[in-house]
């Protein structure tokens, strides 16, 4: 069975790096057009250039925007539809990770976590929904293993990703009658810039990476390509009877 993504239009928040950028590459390989939404114009244009090495430039667009802003989210959707004429798939991949004891949590940090990880998903999904209903399209959210179980010194982040998990299930019920599917992936540690920032450099990086990998039954952490492949599957015709699902991709961590 074909993936059925040729000529589809995909908007990806956080699409300029990590899982989002890797997903863009895979959607392009399947014949889709992609729109990358990110805060940094410099990083966005660099991402577009990297994608143009293997796909036609006319299938790639960058929209500068911050998912914390409802207006930016509306504008990104509007630019997508103006440029490509439709919107079929939304991937909510933008997110930040912060850890630490609750007693040390600053209100500013909590606000950032909730605004990006939770409100960003709400804002962009709300803006995209009328177009997804017309296209009978779908949404794929990037949650986390931390959204389905607790992690040490990670209460705020866990709460934010737990919200994404239940938002996914609730919105799936709300939109099913319109033929719109809503699913999520729940990755464990994936070797992205977000993860690299926790590892340090040189020998310290290798030691930290070994310690991180040691808790996974498969003995390693995941790659952006592995997470991206699951996103593309859930967005595809092969997952046409899948909605309200939260797929773990965590090397057996939550087994």
Burial of 89 (0-12, 13-18, 19+ CB in 10 A): buried
Whether 212 is covered by a domain: the verdict is no
Whether 2 is covered by a domain: the verdict is no
Whether 206 is covered by a domain: the verdict is no
Total of domains in the chain? 1
Whether 80 is covered by a domain: the verdict is yes
Q: How far apart are CA 201 and CA 218, in angstroms?
A: 24
Domain span including residue 131: 9-187+222-248
- Which helix (DSSP H) or strand (DSSP E) does residue 184 occupy? strand 181-187
Neighbouring-strand partners of residue 10: 34, 89
- The one catalytic residue among 97, 152, 157, 216: 157
Q: Is 152 one of the catalytic residues?
A: no
Q: How far apart are CA 25 and CA 20, in angstroms?
A: 9
Tell me: the pLDDT tens digits for 59-83?
Answer: 999 999 999 999 999 999 999 999 9
Whether 205 is covered by a domain: the verdict is no
The CATH number given to whatever domain includes residue 172 is 3.40.50.720
Q: How far apart are CA 26 and CA 20, in angstroms?
A: 10
pTM (2 d.p.): 0.96
Helix (H, G, I), strand (E, B) or coil at 49: helix
For residue 255, pLDDT beyond 70: yes
Q: What 8-state DSSP symbol labels residue 222?
A: B
Tell me: the pLDDT tens digits for 87-144?
Answer: 999 999 999 999 999 999 999 999 999 999 999 999 999 999 999 999 999 999 999 9
168 pLDDT band, cuts 50/70/90, is: very high
């Amino acid at each position: 069975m074909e993936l059925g993504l040729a000529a589809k239009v995909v908007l990806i928040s956080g699409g300029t790096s990590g899982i989002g950028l890797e997903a863009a590459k895979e959607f392009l390989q399947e014949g889709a057009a992609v729109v990358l939404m990110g805060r940094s114009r410099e990083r966005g244009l660099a991402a577009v250039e990297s994608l143009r090495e293997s796909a036609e430039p006319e299938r790639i667009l960058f929209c500068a925007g911050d998912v914390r802003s409802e207006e930016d989210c509306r504008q990104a959707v509007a630019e997508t539809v103006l440029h490509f004429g439709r919107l079929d798939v939304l991937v909510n991949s933008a997110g930040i990770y912060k850890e630490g004891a609750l007693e040390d949590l600053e209100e500013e940090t909590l606000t950032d976590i909730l605004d990006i990880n939770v409100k960003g998903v709400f804002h962009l999904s709300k803006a995209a929904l009328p177009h997804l209903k017309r296209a009978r399209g779908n949404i794929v959210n990037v949650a986390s293993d931390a959204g389905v179980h607790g992690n040490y010194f990670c209460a705020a982040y866990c709460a934010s990703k737990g919200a994404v998990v239940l938002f996914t299930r609730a919105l799936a019920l709300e939109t099913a009658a319109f033929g719109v599917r809503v699913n999520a992936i729940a990755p464990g540690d994936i070797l992205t810039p977000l993860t690299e920032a926790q590892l340090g450099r040189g020998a310290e990086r290798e030691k930290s990476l070994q310690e991180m990998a040691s808790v996974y039954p498969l003995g390693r952490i995941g790659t952006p390509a592995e997470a991206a492949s699951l996103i593309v599957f859930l967005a595809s015709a092969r997952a046409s009877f899948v909605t309200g699902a939260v797929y773990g991709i965590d090397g057996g961590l939550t087994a």
